[in-house]
Structure 1
Amino acid sequence: MLTKTAMTAIETTDSKTAKFIARRNRLIDAAATLINQHGLKGMTFANVAELVDMNQNSLAYYFKRKEMLAHAAYMETLGRIADKVAEAATRPEPRARLNHYLHLVFAAQRGMRTGEERPMTVLTGMSSLPEPYRAEATELYQSVLRGMRDWFGPATQPEDLAVNTARAHVVLEGVLWLPVWLRFYAIEDFDRVERRMFEVWERGVAPAGSALVHMSFARATPPEPRQEVDIDAFLRAATRLINRDGYRGASVDRIAAELRVTKGSFYHHLEGKDDLVLACFQRSYETIARALSDAGAAGGTMWDRLSRALTALIEVQFSGDAPLMRTTALATLPATHRGEVISQSNIFALRFAGVIIDGISEGSIRPVDPLIASQMAMAMLNRAVDLQEWATRVGPARATAIYAEIFAHGMLPGAQSPAGAYAA
């Protein structure tokens, strides 16, 4: 039997441990709040300390460096996502797993809106973490994807694995992009938004039997070799590097080296790196505008036009030469610039919504919530850039069909059209 002194010592130790954990969690929550508001660059020891009313020396007792605190914030969020993925996996079949996971996500969003749940860190800046923090966070991130992939059943054939991989990526990106647009909805509407979002995941936007109509952008003729390059070449190279290596990895020196030009050529076109990121996003939105314009000019039903635009943009993402800018770069921008980029994204989401509304009116698109479906389309397109290696293994044409079919007819096994066929 423990003596009274021993019991007191244990209680004191437990109390100190509980206080340590509570204060550490408070710092992580403050870091999450600041990262979400100002990006990873905007989260500093000074503003974390100010937010929790603690001096910086005391903060360093819990986290010696800013990178350690940021890493803890990302790992906390990824751990909570992993827990939801594992809980959803206990359901008996794919539809129930997907439905339960989305319900858990909306419950968390509701709790964060009311202050009953701790904030979650937006993961867009994770790629900018230095090593070894980036590798640790990436491994947990990949385990989340593997868990989602397993929801859809055993992959006994390479084709099954390919489709399940695409499904997992679409689900995760849809959830990660959700807070960006869910903030425009009242908490009283969350149940309806959840139902409508699940409808798109379950059944897609196209009526059963509707085939994809494929469209490709014409390949540009390679320019003649010259000593300097134009701004578009800089933006394509920068987009590839930032998507792959994050903001830190895509230095001006590396961009210039890839293009085999002088560093001064960069500053001839752009004043600084934030300007570069903004210009890359602008180039991406011009590509989306071109896809919508070309798809509309080709005529046909609104579903024909929507599937043309989507397949063209997915193909652009899979090709790797001139992809769209990944939203992970948002975390590197100052808040004002980040708002500009998100506003532009919302404008194009509304353009997709307009096509969907017209398609519903004519009967070529299922009755779905166009505002929700359009944001899901934007998230799906954003994610595609991370699947370039997957697309190469599957084959570009087949990969484009598989990926577009998820939005067309839903992601549950058996929902897709045979072989993801294109219309003639």
Structure 2
Amino acid sequence: MSASDKEVSSPSQERPRKSARADSKYARKQQAIVAAASEILNRDGVKGMTLANVASRVGLITTSVTYYFRKKEDLAVACFLDAIGRVDALVESALREPDARMRVQRMLQLWLQLRQRIVAGEEPPVALFGDMRTLQKPQRTVVGDAYRRFFAKLCALFETPECAWMTPTQRAARAHILSEQVFWAVIWLRRYDADDFERVHRRMCDILLHGFAGPGRTWRNVQVSLDEMLPEASTSAAQETFLIAATRLINERGYRGASVEKISERLNVTKGSFYYHHDAKDDLVVACFKRSFDTMRRIQRTVLAQTDDQWEQLMTLAAALFAYQMSERGPLLRTSALVALPLSMRQEMIEAYGQVSNRFAGVIADGITAGSMRAVDPMIGAQMFSATLNASAEYRWWVPGATGEQTHELYAKPMLMGLFAQ
């Protein structure tokens, strides 16, 4: 770790030593600041968090907060490291279970119990990880290294004798699916009373362990033609090119990292071209979301018109959407970008995402009625299907050695057939 990274990861290092009582008071205040900042991060992202609004939450003036964290980026790092540490402790506990299935169930149970305590106000909030990518170096390096260590531990959940058949690539993909389920659940769990979290746990585990396939239904690698499903873009060629580049950059760097300059540089156009298409950066994010939702709806309509067999529909939807993620037209904009939008825009996009997800739920519900799918919770199943689709766009970062052609097998099959399907 470099000297600058040490400075970021320990913003209070140069503070003079005090008594144990003073240190305890300092630590409590620091924890209160991190808790308040994590709540603001989850609502407004790194972009919207300021030292001033954190200070007002904990009854301090801004200069007092700088005694603990000199810059807001240092405070953001502290929030993310706190979150990683708390989730890492859950994985440590789950690793004590004797087999991988029990580890997955225990990990989800502990996570939902933590969410239950947070909702009840018994524990401070956990910062959501989606906005980590907005950090710049050296802060990004510090948080990224900590998250990679956590992810390696998550992969170890599948390092058991009964999972000896899994390659490192397959373990990493399953760990990635699991992590995405956990973190996206924070969003849709808001629709449930905390008293129902135990039931949610059972239903999530049922889907993760056993998938969706009904009796006699098997997996096959469906071949699709995106050109037939999406014959024409709904926008001009120039606008389409711009939105593809913006989506990729936002997915890679987050809202803050996807500057007008970087988008224009990637396309080799002037900044004026950006403002020709969009008045403001928020408008661009909304346009990227709308393009993603429109793409998903068009694929859904096409697939649902091809066959009345819902299991075939779900497999084909997975094949088409995962193929789109890897295509030159893709990927879809990651849901982590939602936190960067103003609340009014964000709510509109969440509702639009919900409509797309409801169609997946409808396919699952009809499949249960027809007997082609197992009796699972359709709403939870749809959210978990969407989360896996969301995860696949980042396979290059978390599944070393995988190719785009493998993502359907690495992500869709474990989601539809269960994490332990060979």
| Cα pair distance change 1:182/1:378, threshold 3 Å | same
**Residue of structure 1 equivalent to 2:82:** 76
| Cα pair distance change 1:372/1:53, threshold 3 Å | same
Shift, 1:62, TM fit? 0.4
Matched, 1:263 2:253: no
Instruction: From the CA coordinates, give the structure whose radius of gyration is larger.
Output: 1
Which runs of structure 2 are paired with 1:72-111 in the superposition (5 Å)? 72-111=78-117
**Residue of structure 2 equivalent to 1:166:** 173
Q: Which amino acid aligns with 2:295?
A: T
Shift, 1:324, TM fit? 0.3
- How many residue pairs end up in the alignment? 399
Matched, 1:193 2:183: no
| Cα pair distance change 1:154/1:162, threshold 3 Å | farther
SS at match of 1:107: helix
Quick one: which of 179, 188, 194 aligns to 1:181? 188
Quick one: which of 201, 212, 221 aligns to 1:205? 212
Which runs of structure 2 are paired with 1:19-30 in the superposition (5 Å)? 19-30=25-36
**Residue of structure 2 equivalent to 1:215:** 224
User: 1:70-89 deviations in whole A, cap 9, x for unaligned?
Assistant: 11011100111111111111
Shift, 1:182, TM fit? 0.4
Matched, 1:376 2:384: yes
Shift, 1:229, TM fit? 5.5
Shift, 1:177, TM fit? 0.5
| Cα pair distance change 1:337/1:83, threshold 3 Å | same
**Residue of structure 2 equivalent to 1:327:** 335
Quick one: which of 358, 361, 367 aligns to 1:350? 358
Shift, 1:402, TM fit? 2.6
Matched, 1:362 2:370: yes
Q: Tell whether the 8 Å contact from 1:320 to 1:388 is kept in structure 2 after alignment.
A: no
Matched, 1:317 2:335: no
Shift, 1:262, TM fit? 2.4
Q: Tell whether the 8 Å contact from 2:134 to 2:256 is kept in structure 1 after alignment.
A: yes
Q: Tell whether the 8 Å contact from 2:361 to 2:378 is kept in structure 1 after alignment.
A: yes
Q: Which shifted more, 131-140 or 191-200?
A: 131-140
Taking structure 2 as the reference length, the TM-score comes to 0.89
User: 1:39-80 deviations in whole A, cap 9, x for unaligned?
Assistant: 222211111111111111111110111111111011100111
What is the RMSD of the two structures over their aligned residues, measured on CA atoms? 2.3
Q: Which amino acid aligns with 1:215?
A: V
Question: In the aligned structure 2, how far is the partner of 1:328 from the partner of 1:142?
Answer: 18
Q: Tell whether the 8 Å contact from 2:243 to 2:288 is kept in structure 1 after alignment.
A: yes
Q: Tell whether the 8 Å contact from 1:205 to 1:409 is kept in structure 2 after alignment.
A: yes
Shift, 1:101, TM fit? 0.4
| Cα pair distance change 1:214/1:193, threshold 3 Å | farther
Q: Tell whether the 8 Å contact from 1:39 to 1:334 is kept in structure 2 after alignment.
A: no
User: 1:141-170 deviations in whole A, cap 9, x for unaligned?
Assistant: 122221111211269999611211110000
Which runs of structure 2 are paired with 1:224-303 in the superposition (5 Å)? 230-303=238-311
Matched, 1:153 2:159: yes
Shift, 1:221, TM fit? 9.0
Q: Which amino acid aligns with 1:145?
A: F
**Residue of structure 1 equivalent to 2:417:** 409
| Cα pair distance change 1:106/1:390, threshold 3 Å | closer
Which consecutive residues of structure 1, in runs of 5 or more, have no partner in the other structure? 1-11, 417-424
Which consecutive residues of structure 2, in runs of 5 or more, have no partner in the other structure? 1-17
Taking structure 1 as the reference length, the TM-score comes to 0.89
| Cα pair distance change 1:222/1:364, threshold 3 Å | closer
Q: Tell whether the 8 Å contact from 1:323 to 1:385 is kept in structure 2 after alignment.
A: yes
Shift, 1:234, TM fit? 0.7
**Residue of structure 1 equivalent to 2:52:** 46
Shift, 1:180, TM fit? 0.4
Shift, 1:257, TM fit? 2.3
Shift, 1:36, TM fit? 1.4
SS at match of 1:82: helix
Question: In the aligned structure 2, how far is the partner of 1:47 from the partner of 1:70?
Answer: 13
Q: Which amino acid aligns with 2:147?
A: Y
Question: In the aligned structure 2, how far is the partner of 1:390 from the partner of 1:144?
Answer: 12
| Cα pair distance change 1:408/1:126, threshold 3 Å | same
Shift, 1:396, TM fit? 3.5
Once the two structures are aligned, what percentage of the paired residues are identical? 37
Q: Which amino acid aligns with 2:210?
A: R
Shift, 1:267, TM fit? 1.0
